[in-house]
Structure 1
Amino acid sequence: MRRGEEFAGAVRKGSRAGRPTLVAHFGMRAETDEPPLVGFVVSRAVGGAVTRNRVKRQLRHLMRDRLDRLPRGSLLVVRANPPAASARSERLAAELDVALDRLLRRREPSAAHRDGR
């Protein structure tokens, strides 16, 4: 994800799942046949340039293995919180999985809606 409108669409109009080291924002585009887009936000609050780039590389690597879980047409923004600077990769992976599970579970219609109740 590279365009500001895409980031803004996911953050403002999408759903959010927060964890201590990161917050994930999930939205959908109008063109649902497009591949999912993922963007990362790592602010100065996380640390200096070297630390921010390391965190961003870790998150990018972790998301690469999880892209197939995202539906087509989705927008995902992963924002790192300051504790991400000192978190091990395993912790970031676990918290990313929890956040994605929450967001994707919210997106699925409940069983009551599918049964027509």
Structure 2
Amino acid sequence: MLTREHRLTSGLLFAPAIRRGRRAGTRTLVVHLHVAAPDAGTSPQVGFVVSKAVGSAVTRNLVKRRLRHLTRERLSLLPGSAVLVVRALPPSATATYAELGADLDRALSRALARS
């Protein structure tokens, strides 16, 4: 589970990352990475968007849990002031944990290279 300091807790915080952040996508997900001016006291924050297009509530929650766990393992890759929004696409419902992890790694490395 992500700690509270690493979670986006307000819908207003999603907008800057989605509008001004670097986007990179794969078959199962799209990441939006926004790196603001470096602040010494900040830590990276992560938010998730899993729409009803992904599937039923049970499926969406499964996808969210997997993405939260995968993202927690990769927090050290993000700069301190980063805001990362991970948007799940419908194919994420049938993807395995390993496939989601590989897609997250691929999209995250591309977004980091562009920022």
Structure 1 letter corresponding to 2:96: R
Asked if 1:91 corresponds to 2:80, the answer is no
Percent of aligned positions with the same letter in both sequences? 55
Q: Counterpart in 2 of 1:100? A: 108
- In 2: Cα distance, 1:81 partner to 1:41 partner: 9
Instruction: Give the Å deviation of 1:2.
Output: 1.2
1:72-112 CA-to-partner distances (Å, cap 9, x unmatched) read: 010000000000000000000000000010011112xxxxx
The alignment yields a C-alpha RMSD, in angstroms, of 1.0
Structure 2 letter corresponding to 1:83: P
Q: For the Cα contact (< 8 Å) 1:32–1:74, is it kept in 2?
A: no
Secondary structure of 1:100's counterpart equals helix
Q: Counterpart in 1 of 2:85? A: 77
The count of residues paired between Structure 1 and Structure 2 equals 107
The verdict on how the C-alpha distance between 1:65 and 1:96 changes in structure 2, with shifts beyond 3 A counting, is same
Q: For the Cα contact (< 8 Å) 1:29–1:74, is it kept in 2?
A: yes
In structure 2, which of residues 8, 20, 31 is the aligned counterpart of residue 13 of structure 1? Answer: 20
Q: Counterpart in 2 of 1:112? A: none
- Give unpaired runs (5+ residues) of structure 1: 108-117
- In 1: Cα distance, 2:103 partner to 2:23 partner: 13
Q: Counterpart in 2 of 1:50? A: 58
- In 1: Cα distance, 2:114 partner to 2:95 partner: 27
Instruction: Give the Å deviation of 1:31.
Output: 5.9
- In 2: Cα distance, 1:24 partner to 1:42 partner: 12
Q: Counterpart in 1 of 2:3? A: none
1:29-88 CA-to-partner distances (Å, cap 9, x unmatched) read: 356330000000000000010000000000000011100000001000000000000000
In structure 2, which of residues 74, 89, 106 is the aligned counterpart of residue 66 of structure 1? Answer: 74
Instruction: Give the Å deviation of 1:4.
Output: 1.6
- In 1: Cα distance, 2:67 partner to 2:99 partner: 11
Asked if 1:39 corresponds to 2:74, the answer is no
Structure 2 letter corresponding to 1:35: S
Secondary structure of 2:32's counterpart equals strand
